[in-house]
Amino acid sequence: MITDEEKKKLIQIAVEARSHAYAPYSQYQVGAALLAASGRIYDGVNVENAAFPVTICAERVAVFKAVSEGEREFLAIAVATVNGGMPCGSCRQVLAEFGLETWVIIANREGRILHEATIGELLPGAFRPQDLPK
Ligand code: THU
């Protein structure tokens, strides 16, 4: 679990990151802030593309930034949108790779929390590294 202070900080960073979203097609700006076990926070935004399916979500940008810096354990992620939209299935799967206990905080653009759960609760029955035969 994380402290209320850490939670507030994550939400604030997600809300601020949202202003960097590249979403000229959907106009649905998403900001994310991921707290690694190291204590470092990685932000992310959605990056859309004229070839629509190439678009990547804010949550995955944050995870990929963190993993490429050597992080493998994540305590929590905050996601900020205009209306508190939930993480898509692909982002849930990417987060689940690194543990089912990561705390997911969904907020709106004012930073109001609309939903909280572990990634395990958001993706029951996730396919995990252990499911691959040795
Ligand atoms: N999006 C995210 O960034 N995260 C999600 O979990 C859901 C959707 C983005 C992708 C696209 O740029 C826009 O929101 C509309 O789908």
Rounded to an integer, what distance in angstroms lies between the CA atom of residue 20 and that of residue 38?
A: 25
Residue 59 falls in the annotated catalytic set? yes
pTM over 0.95: yes
Residue 3 has pLDDT above 90, yes or no: yes
Cα dihedral sign, 87-42-36-9? negative
What pLDDT, on a 0 to 100 scale, did the predictor assign at position 48? 99
Q: Three-class SS string for the chain?
A: CCCHHHHHHHHHHHHHHHHHCECCCCCCCCEEEEEECCCCEEEEECECCCCHHHCECHHHHHHHHHHHCCCCCEEEEEEEECCCCCCCHHHHHHHHCCCCCCEEEEEECCCCEEEEEEHHHHCCCCCCHHHCCC
Catalytic residue (one of 5, 16, 59, 110): 59
What pLDDT, on a 0 to 100 scale, did the predictor assign at position 83? 98
Rounded to an integer, what distance in angstroms lies between the CA atom of residue 57 and that of residue 59?
A: 6
- Residue to mutate, 30, 45, 123, ligand 1, most ligand atoms under 8 Å from C-beta: 30
Q: Atom 9, ligand 1: which residue's CA is nearest?
A: 57
CA 87 to ligand 1 centroid distance, Å: 8
Rounded to an integer, what distance in angstroms lies between the CA atom of residue 19 and that of residue 94?
A: 23
The structural domains of the chain, ordered by start, are 4-131 (3.40.140.10)
Q: At 1, is the pLDDT very low, low, confident or very high (cuts 50, 70, 90)?
A: confident
pLDDT digits (tens, 9 = 90+) for 9-66: 999 999 999 999 999 999 999 999 999 999 999 999 999 999 999 999 999 999 999 9
Q: Which residue in the block uniquely carries the two structure tokens 């593309």? A: 49
User: Up-side HSE of residue 120: CA atoms within 13 Å toward CB?
Assistant: 7
Q: What percent of the chain has pLDDT over 70?
A: 100
Ligand 1 interacting residues, C-beta cut-off 6 A: 23, 26, 28, 30, 46, 48, 55, 57-59, 85, 87-88, 91
Q: At 87, is the pLDDT very low, low, confident or very high (cuts 50, 70, 90)?
A: very high
